[in-house]
């Protein structure tokens, strides 16, 4: 057994393990698709370490299970933002009125079985991270819907957010939420003289998500198309 392990490259062993663990999901080499479908493709990573704070536990029999599971949470989340969009509600904090900041967002459209249509390809390890390419073929009706955002001339906004690495997917979600909130807040500052009571609207994630790592935190930069549904102003101080 020891001789056999020396003859098989570590990379090959990893790829075998990766395939076996991920055999219940779409896992394949990049393939050509119908011309009417739009291919969304970007790289994604997850750290190899497990964090008990995030409920992650290392399985010695499947050492790559937890970074794979994290990738399978992160990928659908960002693809949802790209093809379904998010609706949001934002209430800026206002100390003079004793109003606390409130922000939430949720899917704008539903896409049943989104997770099962995503492909994870060409895995590799770099700087203690499991990395791979994410592929999703957008169906024609959503491709057409995405194109309307481009042709209608919606405002483009950008934001950056941070989230704790030890919180796993929750850290990514928090970073994305903050990035969206900051983007909306900066937009509101540019069009309103006074702080609004509430802003509601819709966004579509455009471009590809940028996810960095610094001092134990995710750094997420996102770009959006913005459609503001309503801005409610304070009528009485």
Exposure string over 226-235, b if 16+ CB within 10 A, otherwise e: bbbeeeeeee
Q: Which residues contact 121 (CB under 8 A, 6 or more apart)?
A: 27, 28, 29, 30, 132, 133, 135
β-sheet bridge partners, residue 210: 221
Element (H, E) at 3: helix 2-7
Residue 77 is predicted with a pLDDT of: 97
pLDDT tens for each residue of 92-147: 998 988 999 999 999 999 998 899 999 999 999 988 899 999 999 999 999 999 99
Does this model's pTM top 0.85? My answer is: no
Q: Per-residue pLDDT for 7 more than 50? A: no
Q: Per-residue pLDDT for 200 more than 80? A: yes
């Amino acid at each position: 057994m020891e001789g056999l392990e020396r003859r098989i490259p570590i990379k090959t062993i990893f790829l075998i393990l990766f395939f076996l663990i991920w055999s219940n999901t779409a896992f394949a080499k990049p393939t050509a698709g119908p011309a009417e479908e739009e291919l969304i493709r970007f790289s994604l990573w997850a750290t190899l370490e497990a964090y008990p704070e995030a409920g992650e536990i290392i399985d010695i029999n499947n050492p790559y299970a937890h970074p794979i599971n994290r990738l399978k949470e992160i990928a659908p989340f960002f693809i949802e933002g790209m093809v379904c969009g998010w609706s949001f509600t934002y209430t800026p904090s206002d100390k003079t009125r004793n109003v606390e900041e409130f922000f939430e967002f949720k899917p704008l459209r539903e896409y049943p079985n989104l997770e099962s249509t995503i492909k994870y390809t060409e895995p590799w390890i770099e700087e203690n991270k499991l990395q791979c390419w994410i592929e999703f073929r957008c169906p024609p009706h959503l491709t057409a819907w995405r194109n309307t955002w481009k042709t209608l001339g919606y405002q483009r906004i950008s934001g950056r957010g941070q989230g704790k690495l030890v919180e796993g997917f929750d850290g990514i979600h928090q970073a994305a939420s903050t990035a969206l909130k900051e983007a909306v807040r900066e937009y509101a500052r540019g069009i309103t003289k006074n702080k609004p009571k509430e802003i509601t609207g819709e966004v579509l994630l455009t471009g590809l998500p940028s996810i960095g790592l610094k001092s134990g935190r995710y750094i997420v930069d996102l770009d959006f198309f913005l459609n503001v549904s309503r801005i409610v102003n304070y009528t009485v101080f």
